[in-house]
Amino acid sequence: MSKKIAVIVGSLRKDSFNLKVAKIFQEIAPPSLSLQLISIGDLPLYNEDIDTDTPPSSYTRFRQEIAACQGVIFVTPEYNRGLPAVIKNALDVGSRPYGKSVWSKKPAAVVSVSQGAIGGFGANHQLRQSLVFLDMPTLQQPEAYIGNINSSFDENGNITAKTKEFLSLIINSYASWVEKLN
């Protein structure tokens, strides 16, 4: 039986390279994983004043979707050497109310995707800091910094063989990581 894995994309742009990479992961994932894209663009900024007995419906939807998964893959761009606000907000929404975090013990992977040469290194490591606190064991190897992503697609919009091979290595390593921890 396959493990249900949430995929959270840190770019909200409809033609985002991050979203394209997330969809490629869905296509090439081994049968042991079932990848589900989880929307984060509709989450209001976390505010305890609105997280009452009747929180926003998007908070409830998001928490239920993450709770139903056995792991999480984050696919993130880097903005100004850091983590996109939408991912940090999703982490905050999922970690509340206090003591009811939906993140704890879920195996994670962080894949940073950037048009720049260093592949989102800053965002990747900043996200990992939060995942430590949230008690999410995170895949360490292979490290997944995908730089110059715009040159990883051919003129028809298809991923190059070399990049697809690297993405296969990542998703297969993550599948092994999930198997070890579950």
**Per-residue model confidence as pLDDT tens digits over 67-79:** 999 999 999 999 8
The CA radius of gyration of the chain, in Å to the nearest whole number, is 16
Nearest-angstrom CA–CA distance, 170 and 68: 23
Q: How confident is the model at residue 155 (pLDDT cuts 50, 70, 90)?
A: confident
- Taking the model in full, what pTM does it have? 0.96
Q: Label the pairing between strands 108-113 and 33-37.
A: unpaired
pLDDT at position 1 over 90? no
- Euclidean distance between CA atoms 176 and 23, whole angstroms: 20
Measured CA distances, 97 to 8, 49, 134 (Å): 20, 11, 13
Domain hosting 60: range is 3-181
Return the CATH number at 99.
Answer: 3.40.50.360
User: In the chain, how many domains are there?
Assistant: 1
Distance CA 169, CA 1 (A): 21
Q: Give SS3 for 180.
A: helix
Quote the CA–CA distance of 145 and 121 in Å, as a whole number.
6
Interatomic CA distance for residues 147 and 40, integer angstroms: 24
Condensed to tens digits (0 to 9), the pLDDT of residues 31-69 reads 999 999 999 999 999 999 999 999 999 999 999 999 999
Q: Among all chains, which residue has been given the structure tokens 């292979």?
A: 142
Give 57-63's long-range contacts (Cβ < 8 A, gap of 24+): 59/93, 62/38, 62/90, 62/93, 62/94, 63/93, 63/94, 63/102
